[in-house]
Chains A and B, each alone.
Chain A
Amino acid sequence: MSFIRKKLDQIRKPFEKGQKWERFAPAINAFDTFLFVPNHTTSKGAHVRDAVDLKRTMITVVLALMPALVYGIYNTGYQHFIQLGQSFTFMDAFLHGAFKVVPMIVVSYVVGLSIEFAFAVYRGHEVNEGYLVTGLLIPMIMPVDIPLWMVAISVAFAVLIAKEAFGGTGMNILNPALTARAFAFFAYPTYMSVTKCGSLKQAP
């Protein structure tokens, strides 16, 4: 542990106050605080603090989403095989679903977190953890066969317009995840509704 800490302190050096990469400190801080709770002590107000912080709160929400996500992944595969009339095991259904859903989650996190990091650096504040939840909610409320580029554009719209335009986590008046869904619904109605739904189109 102390080895990693030392290494991190070394990496952090150019990002510290007055150094070359000072502007990008929020980005490195996000990685640092992911590994370690910082050594900050209370300076004013209460001298002792609860173990909870925004990271813990958001991770708890993500954990709470897991059962729904697992079932959603399974259901994607289940519906697929049922429509084709093939026999399948739980693993088959789950793997097929994961093949569809995991890329959406990856796209959502990559696009959303990039924007979050960019804004944190631009505004000079720390990266807020709120997107960890939003980034998982968006794939969960999108139709599973929506093209990935639409997911990416919806995410960008949601983060930029619904969240960062108002000042970031805690200041938004719209729910970013639902804004993404609403955006996709009005921007790409054919993909969001039944007409482009693959399995029904092929039905006799």
Chain B
Amino acid sequence: MSKGLRIRRGARINLKGKAEKIINESVGSRTYALQPDDFFALTPKMHLKEGAKVQAGTPVFFSKNNPRIQFVSPVAGTLKAIVRGPKRKILEVVIEAQGDEAVSHTVAQPEKMDREAIVEVLLQSGSWPFLRQRPYNVIADPEVHPKAIYISAFATAPLDADFEFLLKDQLASFQKGIDVLHQLAETIYLATDQNYQSALAAIKHTTHIPVSGPHPAGNESVIIHHTDPLAMHEKVWTIRPEDVVNIGLLFETGQYSAQRTVAVAGSAVGKPHYIKTKIGAQLSTLCEIAEVDTQLNLRYINGDVLTGRRTQQQGHLGFYNNLLSIILEGNQYRMFGWMPFKDNGIPSLSKTSFAWLSNKAKAIDTNLNGEERALVVTGEMEKVFPMDIYPMQLLKACMIGDIEKMEWLGIYEVIPEDFGLIDFANTSKIEAQEIIKDAMYLMLKEVG
């Protein structure tokens, strides 16, 4: 694909506190945690009890639907607590770090291993959850032969990590990971920023797609939609760029690698920069290093401000995200906020504030800027949804749970994350991502 992919619809939201391109190497934390909520539609079953000793790579829990899929401890230590919520749902499995023993696996050159052996190593080592499967964005099914694997190294979400920068010292491991994935699927698409002379273009066994445009141009869904749309019963897999490195490292060392370079960013961060740590690291450690003023009333978000999961300062890093956004809470009143062109600091994609006149980065808080209202046709959704899918009609079909209509309107091609900007932009303040998520649960239950 020499021409590349040019996305026009979407929006750039310029937030204050973008991470500086400095990596703080190998930061450890006292506790690490695995959060089953990071995985869509996963029912975890515990292997271990509280107080059990674990090594880095020891299976901690597994998926009830597919017991082959294991979730392993990122570090060695003791299983300190299993935090449960309502109905005894597992929220967090907290591991106290101690020592550095790790489980070893026998690996060979990926070219010399057959598909089955590679799948087995990935499953055994706990690296399998890195692979996710469309439709529905669930953890990949080891039995499935996917049409292609998509990797997006072009992160367009507000404040998101720059993968070019993040991968630049680990290209060898990245290539190794690609070699492994190449045994799982014939085609691997690698999307990069078109405006950037990408070092990733030289990676072998991949089809390189230069992408340009505003968010959500870098979302896998958009890239899949514009390169090779999903037909009925087809499956593709996606994987995040740093997890390709993790798989590469697994096949270099034989040990599960849980490396996670996370951009700590946002208006409330004193020193926004990249921190290299491990999956599930404690946020308070990261906040301390990034000089976050924890006295303020802050919102901690695992992921970007549009799609991330809310957490606390005592919380832990998510499984997939390379970004920790910290912004101010907005629980204050604004007088006469309904008047257009008042409060011009808040961006408005429908241009009801003058924020679009300046390119200055904005410090937005979490105020809802209004109240939830009935869905009104205003055409805002279509402007920020760069796929040949009618977003509003799809949302309405999802609200009433009409499965046939949802299929016609393309529910298989989208995931909740694609509706992040719609959440942001729509005047009725409806929770589009929640609606899509609920609809996907319904689809999983009824269609599978």
Taking Cβ atoms with an 8 Å cutoff, the residues of A that contact B are 1, 4-5, 33-42, 44-57, 59-60, 63, 126, 128-130, 168-171
Contact = CB atoms under 8 A, between A and B. Distances in A.
B405 interface: no
A40 B367 contact: yes
Contacts of A4: 335
Interface stretch (B75-83, B169-177, B271-279, B305-313): B305-313
Contacts of B325: 47
Contacts of A55: 337-338, 370
B338 A48 contact: no
Contacts of B374: 128, 130, 168-171
Contacts of B338: 33-34, 37, 53, 55-56, 59
Which 5 A-B residue pairings sit nearest by Cβ, starting from the closest? A53-B370, A37-B337, A170-B374, A55-B338, A46-B423
Interface of B: 13, 15, 158, 299, 301, 305-308, 310, 325, 327, 329-340, 343, 346-350, 352-353, 355, 364-376, 378, 380, 420-421, 423-429, 431-434
A170 B428 contact: yes
Contacts of A56: 338-340, 352, 370, 427
Nearest to A169: B374
User: Which DSSP category, helix, strand, loop or mixed, fits chain B's interface?
Assistant: loop
A4 B13 CA distance: 34
Given A1-B335, A5-B333, A52-B427, A45 B433 contact: yes
Contacts of A63: 340
User: Which DSSP category, helix, strand, loop or mixed, fits chain A's interface?
Assistant: loop
A38 B424 CA distance: 17
Contact of B348 (A36, A37, A40, A51): A51
Given A36-B334, A54-B428, A59-B340, A45 B423 contact: yes
A50 B373 contact: no
Given A39-B367, A46-B433, A53-B369, 17 more contacts: A34-B338, A35-B336, A37-B335, A38-B368, A41-B367, A47-B299, A47-B366, A48-B15, A48-B306, A48-B327, A50-B346, A50-B348, A51-B343, A56-B339, A57-B378, A59-B340, A171-B374
Contact of A41 (B331, B336, B380, B433): B331
10 contacts: A39-B330, A39-B333, A44-B431, A46-B307, A46-B423, A46-B433, A48-B13, A50-B426, A56-B339, A130-B374
A5 B330 CA distance: 16
A55 B343 CA distance: 14
A1 B15 CA distance: 28
Contacts of A1: 335
Nearest to A47: B305
Contacts of A48: 13, 15, 158, 305-306, 327, 364-366, 424
Nearest to A167: B374
Contact of A47 (B308, B346, B347, B378): B308
Nearest to B336: A35
A50 B425 contact: yes
Contacts of A5: 333
Given A49-B423, A52-B348, A36 B335 contact: yes
A169 B376 contact: yes
A38 B367 CA distance: 8
A63 B340 CA distance: 10
Contacts of B327: 47-48
Contacts of B331: 39-41
